[in-house]
């Protein structure tokens, strides 16, 4: 299962990443944020994490859209 987490650099987003990376049924985690995220310390499954920077959530360039291919779910935790 492939999951997109928007707002990945935030308080909730970072914990979501940590938990998703530990779940064997989740094979890919795409972390969207403006700042980028550091992989959690001592986390299992770090190789499943894709860090994708988004400067404008109303406009996704083609290279960012490609990262969404095959996703099963998106968890939205962007603070507006
Ligand atoms: N923390 C809690 O206990 C809690 C509980 C219930 C509900 N919530 C809700 O969950 C949401 C996230 O909470 P949080 O505590 O994780 O917040 P947070 O730590 O401030 O994180 C917010 C995220 O949104 C992004 N962001 C902030 N302003 C933005 C903007 N103008 N444009 C694009 N991205 C922006 C930030 O990433 P970048 O700056 O890297 O882009 C960051 O990843 C909020 O709506 C909050 O009300 C939080």
Q: What is the mean pLDDT of residues 1-12?
A: 97
Distance (angstroms) between ligand 1 centre and the Cα of 36 equals 13
For the CA of 9, the closest atom of ligand 1 is: 43
Res 5: pLDDT:
98
Q: Which tens digits make up the pLDDT trace of 23-37?
A: 999 999 999 999 999
Q: Which tens digits make up the pLDDT trace of 50-78?
A: 999 999 999 999 999 999 999 999 999 99
Q: Best substitution site from 12, 18, 36, 38 to test ligand 1's pocket, by max atoms within 8 Å of Cβ?
A: 12
**Full DSSP string of 2-66:** EEEEETTTSHHHHHHHHHHHH-TT--EEEEEESS--PPPTT-TTGGGEEEEE-S-TT---HHHHH
């Amino acid at each position: 299962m492939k999951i997109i987490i928007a707002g990945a650099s935030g308080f909730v987003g970072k914990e979501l990443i940590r938990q998703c990376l530990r779940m064997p049924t989740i094979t890919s985690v795409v972390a969207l944020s403006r700042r980028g995220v550091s992989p959690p310390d001592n986390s299992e499954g770090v190789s499943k994490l894709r860090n994708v920077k988004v400067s404008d959530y109303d406009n996704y360039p083609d290279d960012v859209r490609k990262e969404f291919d095959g996703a099963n779910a998106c968890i939205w935790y962007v603070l507006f």
